[in-house]
Structure 1
Amino acid sequence: MAPQESKNWIELSIGDIADVIAGGTPQAGNPDNFQEPGTGIAWLTPADLSGYKEKYISLGARDLSQQGYDSSSAKLLPKGSIVFSSRAPIGYVAIAKNDISTNQGFKNFVFTHGVDSSFAYHYLRSIKDIAESLGTGTTFKEISGATAKTLPFVLPPLAEQKVIADKLDTLLAQVETTKARLERIPQILKTFRQSVLASAVSGKLTEEWRLENPSLEPISLDDIETYWSVKYLESGKKRPSLKFIETALLTEVPKSWINTNIGYVFDVYVGATPSRKNEDFWNGDIPWVSSSEVAFCRISSTKETVTKLGLAKTSTNIHPPGTVMLAMIGQGKTRGQVAILDIEACHNQNTAALRVPTDFVVSEYLYFYLTKQYEETRRVGGGNNQQALNKSVVQSLEFPLPPFEEQTEIVRRIEELFAFAERIEQKANAALEHVNHLTQAILAKAFRGELTADWRAANPELISGENSAEALLKKIQVEREAVSKKKAVRKRV
């Protein structure tokens, strides 16, 4: 039964007022069956509507040639027909801007007099879930021509159809505009974060802060060397000599900073993997970091652990919290990503561990610097056949080092600005989620008759008598009966 607000509408099946026309495909292996788009007979596949947001469609990725058209079961649909994908997936919909044909992945609707194309387009969008629920099949869901004829449809008076379609065009365009703006926010914030990092590690972010703190002296590399020498002596070892090729230090830094190489500041380790063949090496109490876990994050747990025996039988080491991990090798975008250890952990050979001289460097400053340098680090590591970094390359990376107090201030400001960006992104995502539900909510409201309740009250003469839905349906039935002995769609070019 129709809702009270629209009781002058008629509920029926789409097959009662439209011809349902399937499509076809000529032999795909014969290139003579196809032509460049716009040069032959317009032809669509469901792929042509994937991601397609326009209301009207005029052609697909390729046309049929006359030969291809004649040798297939494709039919030419008249301008204004509704193309509706019936499989892979179900429910893509558009209005034919011109005469057009489709493949067999469509069940298309050709209406006679009395149904506004825009109204039908919006209505079919509103019942996508219903159409999907009627699909059958194992490899992919599909609705048959017989099922397509049973899809629900509502028939308001023609004048009201046009009003509904116009209102929906306006409202849904506003929704799409809002959605597009919200979808741009993550990229805007990504650019903002990159700008913050660039400003931070160049000294611009704390330029005024330095003027307020003019007495800060540059950190001494000799002091850092002494720090590490003492650490090694405490463990009964001698610090290995550094063996790396210094890269050119091209970055200009403030006077109170020094520009140096990673290897002169941090103790760099490459990990190892205990033998997988020995079960006694695995599932112990020692966290073991793989490169896939080094993903611009803090690491508080690991997917795998090793035993003390596994640790003893390999060249990997346990590193303290605050150590910065750098992925040297990995699939996709892994190489160059960084993380901070919040736990003691060892690691595999695809990662470098940068132990931090905590008297001189804030771990988070190094983390943010390497985050900013991600693309550059990948470029440096992509200059060989292995597409990988190694220990000497990591040690040679350029590193601008501010005074310790300024590092602390830089980290504080970055975290504050990133938190601000995160709050904006969360609000934008919540708004986008709401907007994503708006289209179906507006469509549902329209087809309950709520969008045109005031219009009906103001225009009773346009929805009654000869303008009523009942009178319109009779006209449609008479017209369909008159052409019932003719083909609803003829093959023609």
Structure 2
Amino acid sequence: MTTDSGVGPGGSGSGGDVTDAEELPAGWVRATLGELGVEVQPGFASGKHNRDGKGILHLRPMNITRNGVLDTLDARYVVDNSDRRVELGDVLFNNTNSPALVGKTAWVDSVEPLAYSNHMTRLRGPEGLDGKFLAAQLHHMWATGYFKSILNNHVNQASVSRKALLDTVIVVPPLAEQHRIVAKLDDQLVFIGAGEGSLGIADAKGGHFLQAVLHDALRGKLAPEDLSEGDAQVLVRDSVALDRGPWDIPDGWRWATIGKLFKVAVGSTPSRGNSAYWGGDVPWVSSGEVSFARISSTRESITVDSITSPEARIHPPGTVMIAMIGEGRTRGQAAILDIPAAHNQNCASIRVSETAILPEFVYYFLMARYEETRREASGGNQPALNKGKVENLEIPIPPLGTQRNIVARVQGLEEDLRGLREAVTDGWARASKLRNALLHAAFTGALMPQDPDDEPASVLLDRIRAQRSAEVRPARRKRASRMTAPTAPQASGRPIPSGTQEALPL
């Protein structure tokens, strides 16, 4: 049992600064979510989403932002008659995602009840625990790495179990102080959010300009000096060329599909249970590392012996990668290998390096159609591309000299935009530090002064313990005597629950 001065599971040394303090302000307590009687309820999966507004809005992991706010801009609906809903004042916790994103939490501000996926958990606290205070604290614990320290890793994703969540320790001030902290956070976070919004607008304008240049380049509409120089050789054979494509292209250009021009392959993940497969000489790319850049190093490496699938091989420099799955902005992003590397099954490799076509041109083509590629993904809670969808992408191929000029023009523009993006990135980093400092102050008692007249939070714990003690426990079933023959169950007129019929005597 945790107390004002004690540290329970996930407390000191757990990786989150919310519960690491040696002492708490007067009237505060530490307690696990389980001790507080927080209700934990998972959502439901659905592979039948629609964007037409039919049914009820179904929240998924991407609907919780990295700032802990519900965002329903990407709204998906399901037809569902269950009562599995979140309501105004509930807390929504992302229990399953990539390791870096598990634990995102948001306070539900929707007046209308909403459905939510099985990758989300609804939390409802007792009277005396402000839901908005709880959501902000859990999200801050995510931001400071606590949930990453307790998650379970799976092949394609990670999760926090119900038990680990209930064992999570939070700090609880008096209820009146919780309200004051939440109000202060609301006031201050508005200014930080406004600054982040301005940075996002500046970054978006640079990105839109780059996209406009790519749009014209892939249609042969750049200035003549950018397109007329170089080799006019046609690089696409008649046998693989398409009669037409999604838009008009100049004479001498040809349409084809990615799969007809290049070898496309998916990778694999060696068994995590076999330590001999990891830490070898082969760089190993995960989908999260595919982010519109050149890949010259990777976070993990594997051994040659771990590569057993014919397609899961070591790809040479110049291979273009595309991420096929991933929350947020990951899916559909591309990269170019600068090193020989293998990769996991969540991204595909395009062996451009073995053709006369420039890898950079294919990379910029994927950059230009990024949003369209994302929309072509299918699936339920985690929409994904697949090998077939990548192979069927239609790409215009200009003569080699024109490719070189397009690549040079876009690379020059990227260089001009790099300074802007560095300034934006620095601004976001400063905003993140300011946000974390504000939240740290909130959950260590430094944001607002304490009021000695507030009812201590220990009273809340005492009330919860008393309520639990008063609960009537069901009587235990008496074990039948070993000398007595078992009695056949009597018909009750009720249906036998599924899964018990095999245990009944015939």
Give me the TM-score of the superposition, normalised by structure 1: 0.45
Point out the structure with max Rg over C-alpha: 1
Give me the TM-score of the superposition, normalised by structure 2: 0.44
